[in-house]
A and B are shown apart, each in its own frame.
Chain A
Amino acid sequence: MIEDYKGILVIGEIYEGKIRPVTFQLITKARELADTLNTSLSTVLIGYNINDMAKEPIYYGADKVYVLDNKMFDPYIAEVYSAVLAKFIDQLKPEIVLIPATHTGREYGPRIAAALQTGMTADCTDLAIKNGRFIQIRPAYGGNIMGEIFTPNHRPQIATVRPNVFKARDPDTSRKGEIINSAPDLSGINIRTYIKDVVKTTVAGAKKIDEAKVIVSGGRGVGSKEGFELLKQLADLLGGAVGASRVAVDLGWMPKSAQVGQSGITVAPDLYIACGISGTIQHIVGMKDSKIIVAINKDPNAPIFNIADFGIVGDLNEVIPIFIDELKKVLNK
C-alpha cells in the first residue's frame, strides 16, 4: 500500500573522506519539500569510518541520520551500494528518495529502482510539490524540452538530482536530530567488481567545476594549452574553477574533467565567464542555468552572446587582463 510509505530520504554521498556538497544541497531542498508535505526528513550515509560526519546532515535540515558503516563500503562499488541501499529503503519505506546525480549516483541509483520495481526520474533540475504530488522536473532532448514527471501508484518515488541546482543553506550547528547506527544487511551480496586504480585528472589543488561558484571557461579561441594560464589567473582571483568546451578538451588543452556540456559536466555556478567559446547547443545545455553569464568572443555573431547577460566582442587576450586589473582594484588585491 502506498500509504505505508512516509517521509523523505536523501542518500548522502561520501567522496574522498567527506560528505559531498551536493548532499547538503539536496537536504536543504528536501527540508522544504518535507515541510510542505508535513513529513520527516532522513539521510542515510554509507561508507567506512564515517561516524564523525553523522551530525552534519542534521545541521542542514535532516531529522534522522542513518549510518551504514562497513569496510565493504569503501571503495564505492555499484553492485554493493545498490544492493545494500535497496534493502535499507525497502525496510524504511520512505515515500520519496533523492540521490545525487553524480557519476556514482547515476550508476547505482537506477539499480535500486529496478530492484524495488518503482519509478525513477533522472537528473532532475527542479523538484516541487503540487496538489500533494511530488513533481520531478528535468530537461530532455539535449535540454530543448523540460518535462514534469510523477509516479502515481508506486513508492518510493526516486529521483537523481543534479548538483548545484539547489543552494545549500548555512549550517545550523544548534539543530538537533537523531543519529541511528544501522547494521547493513549484507546477505546475498556477491562482489564481482574490483577497483584496481583511481586516477585524478584534475590538476592538484585545482578547483572542481562541479563544485565551483565561479567558472572561467575556455574554448577554441583560447588558442593553446598555455593560453588557459590567463583564464586560471582570472579564476583564481574569483575563487573559481577553470572549465573548457569540448573542442578545448579534444585538442588536449584541458582534461576531460574540466569539460562543460552535454558530453561533459553540467554546471550552474553563480558566474560563468565563457572565453573564446562560440556556444554550440551541446555546450549551452551544460551551462545555461548559470546565474550570470559573461561571454568574451571575437565573433560578434557567436551564439553564446544570445544567452549571455553580458557580452564583450573582442580578443580575450586583451579583455581578460583588463578584467584581472579591475578586479584586483575592487578586491584590494
Chain B
Amino acid sequence: MKILVLVKQVPDTSEVKFNENGVMIREGLQSILNMFDQFAVEEALRIREKYGGEVSVMTLAPEQAKSALQKCLALGADKAYHISDRAFGGSDTLATSYALSLAIKKVGDFDLIMAGNQATDGDTGHIGPQVAQFLGIPHVSYVEKIENVEGDKVLVKSLLEDGYRMIEVKLPALLACIPPPNFEYSNPSMMGIVKAKNKPYVWLKADDIDGDKSRFGLNGSPTRVMKMYPPPKRSRGEVFTGNYNEAVKKIIDVLKEKKVIS
C-alpha cells in the first residue's frame, strides 16, 4: 500500500496575542505541523503497520516548512516531497490544489492519499476535495477513522453534524481526516529524529512538475484577499457575584425585552 499524506505548516493560533488595538500579532507565532495533518500522518502509519507499505508526505510551501516534513519523518514516515518555488507564491486553494495534483501525478502512483480535513490557519477544507477532483479520484471528508482496507477498497468513518456514516471507497482515493475526541498526539522519539535525517527528502521546483504555469501562484488564483481586520470584539458585560436570584431575574428581564423568551 503506497500512501501519501499532504501536510501544511501553520502558525500556532492557540497561542495568539493581540496588540493594544485588538490586532493579532503574527510575528513570533511558532510554526507547527497542522494538527489535522499530524493525525492523518499517524493514521497512515497505523495503516502501514497493519497492512504494510510505504508512507510519503508532501507539502507545497517555502523552505522553512521543512521542519514540518521533518517531524512527519521523525514520527515514522518514509519519504518527503517538498514543493517549493517562488512561482507558487500567493497561491489560493485552487492554485495550491492544482500544483499538488501535478506533483502527485509526477512522483508516483499512490493507492491512498490522505490530508488533514482543514488547516488551523486558513480553515478552508478545500485542498483535499480539490486535489481529488484534479486527480479524478473519489474522496471522503471528515474521516475520523480508517476501519479497514480490503483489496482495493477502504472502509472509513466520516462524521456528520449529528452522527457519522460508514463509507466504503474504492482506491485510489483521498481521505480528508479529522482527529477524534481524545486523540493523543505522538511526539517523535529521539531515535525517530535521528533516523529522519537519513530519509529521502525530495525538493521539487515548478519546472519539475508538468502543467500549465499560468495556473500557478497568484496568477493562477481566482480569489483575492481585499482586506484583513480583527473580528468585532465582544466586550465584557455585567458579571454578578452572590445573590443569584437577583442576577437571574435581571437576565430574564433582558431576555424578555430582546424577545429571546416570550
Contacts and interface: CB of A to CB of B under 8 A. Distances in A.
Interface of A: 78-79, 82, 102-104, 106-111, 113-115, 117-123, 135, 139-154, 192-202, 208, 210, 213-214, 238, 246, 249-250, 256-257, 259, 262-263, 265, 270-271, 281-282, 288, 291-294, 300, 305-314, 318-319, 322-323, 326-327, 330-331
B179 A306 contact: no
> Chain B's interface: helix, strand, loop or mixed, by majority?
mixed
Contacts of B224: 149-152
Given A193-B167, A199-B166, A145 B228 contact: yes
A108 B236 contact: no
B62 to A, nearest CB: 18
Given A292-B254, A307-B236, A310-B237, A120 B223 contact: yes
A252 to B, nearest CB: 8
Contact of B166 (A111, A196, A307, A319): A196
Given A307-B236, A326-B248, A330-B256, A122 B125 contact: yes
B165 A140 contact: no
Interface residues of B, number: 85
11 contacts: A115-B133, A117-B94, A119-B92, A148-B225, A193-B170, A195-B167, A196-B165, A196-B168, A198-B163, A311-B238, A319-B247
Contacts of B28: none
B258 interface: yes
B254 to A, nearest CB: 7
Interface of B: 11, 13-14, 16, 18, 24, 92-94, 97-98, 120-126, 128-130, 132-134, 137-142, 155, 159-170, 173, 176, 178-182, 215, 221-231, 234-242, 244-245, 247-252, 254-256, 258, 260-261
Q: Quick one: which of B138, B161, B239 has the most chain A CB within 10 A? A: B161
A147 B222 contact: no
Contacts of B122: 122, 140
A281 B16 contact: yes
Q: Which 4 A-B pairs have the closest CB atoms?
A: A119-B222, A311-B239, A142-B13, A122-B124
Contacts of A145: 24, 228-231
Nearest to A324: B248
Q: Quick one: which of A139, A246, A326, A331 has the most chain B CB within 10 A? A: A326
Contacts of A310: 237-240, 247, 250-251, 254
Given A294-B251, A319-B244, A323-B252, 10 more contacts: A147-B225, A195-B167, A196-B165, A271-B260, A291-B258, A292-B255, A306-B236, A308-B239, A312-B244, A326-B252
A9 to B, nearest CB: 17
Contacts of B13: 141-142, 144, 281
Nearest to A249: B181
Given A78-B129, A196-B155, A292-B260, A312 B247 contact: yes
B172 to A, nearest CB: 9
A35 to B, nearest CB: 23
Contacts of A123: 123-125
A309 B254 CA distance: 10
Contacts of A313: 239-241
B161 A150 contact: no
